Amino acid sequence: MIDKKEIEKIIQEKLFGTDYELVTLEVSSGNDILVEIDRLAGVDVEFCAELNRYLVEKLDGAYPQPLPEGKGENNYSLEVGSVSLTAPFKTKLQYEKNLGHDVEMLVNGKKIYGQLVSVDEETFSVDVEEKVEVEGKKRKEKQIVTHTWKYDEPKYVKYDLKF
């Protein structure tokens, strides 16, 4: 089996000095490798291809043995790309990248929709439209309320695709 830490080291060597960040690295027991990267300015497909070639060069030297049927010339399969638009955020960079955008969250079993308005080292804030009691009024009124959470509090936070 291919060593995940070794692959991560190879990826970090390639990403060093760039504004790209490794978001996901998965290595299955069958040596299927998934690499997802991101950056504030968006992911360039040419950089993904360059990272793919770099990994193939390094991995082919380290793992040259033949593969079972269906794996091609190498003893692994490799997929390098950007993070899916609908995938939950995993890094602070993804929160920063989505500042000002609408997000969907799951907190304490409840879906919350709002606009991501701030991000810092430990927390993020979302403006949520809620019905709140207003002094002197009989009925609750809709207002924007800012809520702040630590990154590990919601079950997930992701870009809200509204069609």
Domain ranges within the chain, ordered by starting residue: 4-82, 92-159
Say if residues 103 and 160 touch (Cβ distance below 8 Å): yes
Cα separation of 42 and 47, whole Å? 11
Residue located via tokens 């390639």: 14
Position 60 scores a pLDDT of 82
Domain 92-159: CATH architecture, name and number where available: Roll (2.30)
Q: Evaluate if residue 64 carries a pLDDT over 80.
A: no
Its pTM stands at: 0.83
| Chain segment 87-138, per-residue pLDDT in tens | 999 999 999 999 999 999 999 999 999 999 999 999 999 999 999 888 888 8
Pick the CATH number of 4-82 from 2.30.29, 1.20.120, 1.10.3470, 3.30.300: 3.30.300
Phi-psi region of 108 (alpha: psi -120 to 50; beta: other; left: phi over 0): left
Which residues are bridge partners to 81 per DSSP?
Answer: 36
Query: pLDDT category, 67, cuts 50, 70, 90?
Result: very low
